[in-house]
Structure 1
Amino acid sequence: MSGRRRLALVTVLVLVTATGAVPFRTNVLPEIVRIAFAIEKREIVYAWGGGHAEDPGPSKGTCLGYTGRIKPCPAADTRGLDCSGFTRWVYALAHGADVLGPGNTDDHVQKMRRVRIARPGDLVFFGKITKKRVKTHHVGIYLGDGKMINAPETGAVVRVDPIGRIRDFAGFYRL
Structure 2
Amino acid sequence: MEFGGDVNFWKSIVDRMLAGVIITDITMKYLYVNDVFSAVTGYGKEELKEMKITDLAHPSHLQQASEAIEKVMTGKSIRGEFMYLTKRGEKRCAFGFFTPYVYKGKVYAVGNFIDITYAKELEEKLKKSEEFYRSLIDNSSSPILIVQDGKFVFVNRILEEITGYTREELIGRNAFD
**TM band (smaller chain):** under 0.3
More helix by share: 2
- TM-score under structure 2 length normalisation: 0.23
In the superposition, the TM-score normalised over structure 1's length comes to 0.24
Which of the two has greater strand per residue? 2
